[in-house]
């Protein structure tokens, strides 16, 4: 990368914000490695959050997977088995930390707004103003099957419900005037809530709102409602810049100042001492993540059938995917693309590159973040935030809980040397770390 001059940069004094993202369901954590800890033990979360706080990370971020990803009854090769509830986990970590923000992913499709608002406000008060809510709608029907009321909502209804859900939660947080609570009364197509709140405001007033959802409706919802967008645009600079520009445009269209919504893409960072080591390590990480069984499972999600009998070193299936009613909602891997179209595209890429089934999946996974020496990475990440492609990164460590060590020990100091990372926390609340203004409340 050639280093641009200060004049070419839109935000020459911007600093990188880091969060650590512990996924709900994923195949990016290499649990099979002997250095990995338990997926459920409290010590895993404690080690990770302490390292992140030592590295002045803004946020410790828990994703939410309310059902394990499976394919025809078989649980995914590297999926997380056993995950405590995020708010409970974060409450335990609040007592062991002093500054880092605590972000709970919680969905609006299966929860109750008054109850969730109260639990989030509780974490916010108990942590001294460090709580945040990553608002998700959840994109699949099989998660809904885990709930008593069942349930799966159409895309448009999900965001309509989400908007009303967040508005109701904000009314709950707003109801404290310093002396007493005003009862909250909401009746609409989705909710029938009569609730007298019991938790006063924290030092940051309301929990910070993150949003994760990438469609136009999701982006509009984010720019009307959220403080931060958690995105999937964390690998390719041009793609990230286009996304961040779109968020800035939508923020202004929603009547807010241009930079009011921060953009924090999820990403992976591989650090090593020399370029040769970087290449070797990045390849190792990728091959551990995309095991032969994982490759078959991911391709099976697109084809809508169990392909575990196939040879991962052989070709993609010759027949077209089977489409059933539920398939449109099965597996984020498809990311909304029509399965037949996606299969055709994959076949074309495999043919052109001479790729086997697994090689194709490796090929598609090979751009999942950053790899470099600490100094190369510091230049690259500083350029991202200073050119406006993002405000920082939500890092998914490929090893848990030790995967942040080299980032905190090598990359953070290299960024600090460039003036692109803080040397201390800006305050005590998450809102202060992120430089966010106070929430717009009715009072
Ligand atoms: C970066 C990112 C992270 C997400 N994390 C979660 C999660 O932890 N739990 C969950 O249920 N849904 C998660 N989602 C799914 C979204 O809430 C949403 O349901 C999905 O992206 C479909 O909406 P869309 O079409 O607007 O993207 C995530 C989405 C994105 C883009």
User: pLDDT, tens digit, for every residue of 185-221?
Assistant: 999 999 999 999 999 999 999 999 999 989 999 999 9
By residue range, what is the domain housing residue 312?
Answer: 275-365
Comparing 22-31, 172-181, 227-236, the range with the smallest average pLDDT is 22-31
Average pLDDT, the chain: 90
Alpha-carbon span 393 to 161, nearest angstrom: 28
Whether the Cβ atoms of residue 395 and residue 404 lie closer than 8 Å to each other: yes
- Residue 330: pLDDT above 90? no
Number of the ligand 1 atom closest to the C-alpha atom of 219: 26
* pLDDT attached to residue 332: 43
Site to substitute for ligand 1 among 138, 147, 158, 212, most atoms within 8 A of C-beta: 212
State yes or no: ipTM above 0.95. yes
Comparing 1-5, 239-243, 314-318, the range with the smallest average pLDDT is 1-5
Q: What is the mean pLDDT of residues 157-180?
A: 94
What count of other Cβ atoms lies within 10 Å of the Cβ of residue 151?
A: 14
Whether the Cβ atoms of residue 209 and residue 228 lie closer than 8 Å to each other: yes
Cα 406 to ligand 1 centroid, rounded to whole Å: 28
- Residue 329: pLDDT above 70? no
Within a domain: 349: yes
Q: Any residues with Cβ below 6 Å from ligand 1, and which? A: 24, 63-64, 105, 107, 136-139, 212-215, 217-218, 230-232, 266
Q: Residues 192, 138: one domain?
A: yes
Classify residue 119 as left (phi > 0), alpha (psi -120 to 50) or beta: alpha
Q: Residues 349, 243: one domain?
A: no
Instruction: Provide the sign of the torsion angle of the four alpha carbons 323, 327, 331, 332, taken in this order.
Output: positive
pTM: 0.93
Cα 111 to ligand 1 centroid, rounded to whole Å: 16
Within a domain: 205: yes
Nearest-CA residue for atom 4 of ligand 1: 212
* pLDDT attached to residue 76: 66
Whether the Cβ atoms of residue 398 and residue 406 lie closer than 8 Å to each other: no
* pLDDT attached to residue 143: 77
Residue 401: asked if its preceding bond is cis (omega within 30°), the reply is: yes
Residue where a domain stops, chosen among 311, 344, 365: 365
Bridge partners, 270 (sequence order): 371
Cα 4 to ligand 1 centroid, rounded to whole Å: 34
Q: Residues 87, 124: one domain?
A: yes
* pLDDT attached to residue 275: 97
Q: Residues 329, 422: one domain?
A: no
Question: According to the 3-state scheme, what is the secondary structure of the chain?
Answer: CCCCCHHHCCCCCCCCEEEEEECCCCCCCCCCCCCCCCCCCHHHHHHHHHHHHHCCCCEEEECCCCCCCEECCEECCCCCCCCCCHHHHHHHHHCCCCCCEEEEEEECCCCCHHHHHHHHHHHHHHCCCCEEEEEECCCCHHHHCCCCCCCCCCHHHHHHHHHHHHHHHHHHHHCECCCCECCEEEECCCCEEEECCCCCCECCECCEEEECCCCHHHHHHHHHHCCEEEECCCCCHHHHHHHHHHHHHHHHHCCCCHHHCEEEEEECEEECCCHHHHHHHHHHHHHHHCCHHHHHHHHHHHHCCCCCCCCCCCCCCCCCCCCCHHHHHCCHHHCCCCHHHHHHHHHHHHHHHCCCHHHHHHHHHCCCCEEECHHHHHHHHHHHHHCCCCCEEEECCCCCCCCCHHHHHHHHHHHHHCCCCCCCCCCCCHHHHHCCCCCCCCC
Number of the ligand 1 atom closest to the C-alpha atom of 105: 8
Within a domain: 200: yes
Give the model confidence (pLDDT) of 289-309 as tens digits: 999 988 998 898 888 888 989
Within a domain: 343: yes
Comparing 66-70, 207-211, 398-402, 419-423, the range with the smallest average pLDDT is 66-70
267 — pLDDT class (breaks 50, 70, 90): very high
CATH number at residue 403: 3.20.20.30
Site to substitute for ligand 1 among 20, 108, 145, 213, most atoms within 8 A of C-beta: 213
Residue where a domain stops, chosen among 334, 365, 396: 365
- Residue 392: pLDDT above 90? yes
Cα 228 to ligand 1 centroid, rounded to whole Å: 14
What does the block give as tokens for 242? 């286009």
Whether the Cβ atoms of residue 300 and residue 357 lie closer than 8 Å to each other: no
How would you class 50 by CB atoms within 10 Å of its CB: exposed for 0-12, middle for 13-18, buried for 19 or more? Answer: middle
Domain count, the chain: 2
150 — pLDDT class (breaks 50, 70, 90): low
Q: Residues 244, 334: one domain?
A: no
Q: What is the mean pLDDT of residues 323-332?
A: 50
For tokens 């190792």, the residue is 284
- Residue 228: pLDDT above 90? yes
Cα 159 to ligand 1 centroid, rounded to whole Å: 12
Nearest-CA residue for atom 3 of ligand 1: 212
Q: Residues 361, 376: one domain?
A: no
Q: Residues 264, 413: one domain?
A: yes
- Residue 168: pLDDT above 80? yes
Q: Residues 79, 200: one domain?
A: yes
Q: What is the mean pLDDT of residues 396-414?
A: 96
Comparing 55-64, 142-151, 219-228, the range with the smallest average pLDDT is 142-151
* pLDDT attached to residue 302: 84
Q: Residues 258, 130: one domain?
A: yes
Residue where a domain stops, chosen among 323, 345, 365: 365
Within a domain: 133: yes
Site to substitute for ligand 1 among 136, 239, 368, most atoms within 8 A of C-beta: 136
Within a domain: 3: no
Number of the ligand 1 atom closest to the C-alpha atom of 139: 19
Number of the ligand 1 atom closest to the C-alpha atom of 135: 17
32 — pLDDT class (breaks 50, 70, 90): confident
Q: Residues 207, 144: one domain?
A: yes
Bridge partners, 230 (sequence order): 264
Torsion of CA 125, 127, 128, 129, to 10 degrees: -80
Q: Residues 426, 327: one domain?
A: no
Q: Residues 38, 180: one domain?
A: yes
Whether the Cβ atoms of residue 319 and residue 339 lie closer than 8 Å to each other: no
What's the Cα-to-Cα distance from 220 to each of 171, 191, 249, rounded to whole Å? 21, 22, 10
* pLDDT attached to residue 271: 98
Within a domain: 256: yes
440 — pLDDT class (breaks 50, 70, 90): low
Which one has a higher pLDDT value, 1 or 306?
306
Within a domain: 8: no
Cα 273 to ligand 1 centroid, rounded to whole Å: 35
């Amino acid at each position: 990368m050639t280093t641009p001059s200060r004049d070419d940069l839109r935000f020459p004094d911007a600093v990188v914000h880091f969060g650590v993202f512990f996924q709900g369901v994923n195949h990016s954590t290499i649990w099979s490695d002997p250095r990995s800890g338990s997926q459920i033990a409290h010590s895993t979360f404690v080690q990770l959050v302490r390292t992140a706080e030592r590295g002045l990370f803004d946020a410790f971020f828990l994703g939410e997977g309310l059902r394990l990803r499976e394919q025809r009854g078989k649980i995914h090769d590297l999926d997380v088995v056993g995950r405590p509830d995020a708010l409970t986990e974060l409450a335990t970590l609040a007592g062991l930390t002093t500054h880092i923000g605590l972000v709970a992913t919680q969905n609006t499709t299966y929860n109750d707004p008054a109850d969730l608002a109260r639990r989030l406000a509780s974490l916010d008060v108990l942590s001294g103003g460090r709580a945040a809510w990553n608002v998700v709608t959840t994109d699949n029907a099989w998660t809904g099957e885990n709930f008593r009321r069942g349930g799966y909502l159409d895309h448009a209804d999900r965001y309509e419900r989400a908007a009303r859900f967040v508005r109701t939660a904000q009314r709950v947080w707003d109801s404290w005037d310093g002396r007493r609570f005003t009862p909250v009364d909401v009746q609409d197509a989705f909710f029938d809530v009569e609730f007298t709140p019991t938790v006063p405001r924290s030092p940051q007033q309301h929990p910070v709102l993150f949003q994760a959802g990438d469609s136009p409706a999701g982006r509009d919802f984010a720019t009307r409602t959220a403080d931060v967008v958690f995105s999937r645009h964390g690998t390719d600079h041009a793609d990230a810049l286009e996304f961040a520009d779109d968020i800035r445009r939508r923020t202004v269209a929603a009547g807010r100042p241009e930079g009011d919504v921060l953009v924090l893409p999820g990403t992976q960072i591989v650090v090593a001492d020399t370029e040769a080591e970087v290449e070797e390590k990045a390849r190792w990480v990728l091959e551990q993540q995309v095991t032969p069984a994982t490759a078959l499972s991911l391709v099976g999600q697109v084809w809508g059938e169990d392909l575990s009998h196939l040879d991962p070193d052989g070709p993609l299936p010759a027949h077209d995917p089977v489409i059933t009613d539920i398939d449109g909602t099965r597996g984020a891997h498809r990311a909304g693309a029509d399965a037949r179209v996606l299969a055709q595209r994959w076949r074309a890429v495999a043919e052109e590159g001479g790729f086997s089934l697994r090689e194709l999946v490796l090929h598609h996974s090979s751009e999942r973040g950053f790899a470099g020496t600490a100094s190369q990475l510091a230049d690259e990440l500083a350029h991202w935030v200073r050119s406006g492609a993002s405000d920082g990164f939500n890092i998914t460590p490929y090893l848990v809980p030790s995967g942040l060590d080299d980032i905190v020990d090598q990359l953070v100091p290299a960024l600090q040397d460039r003036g692109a990372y803080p040397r201390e926390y800006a305050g005590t609340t998450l809102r202060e770390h992120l430089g966010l203004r106070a929430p717009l409340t009715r009072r």
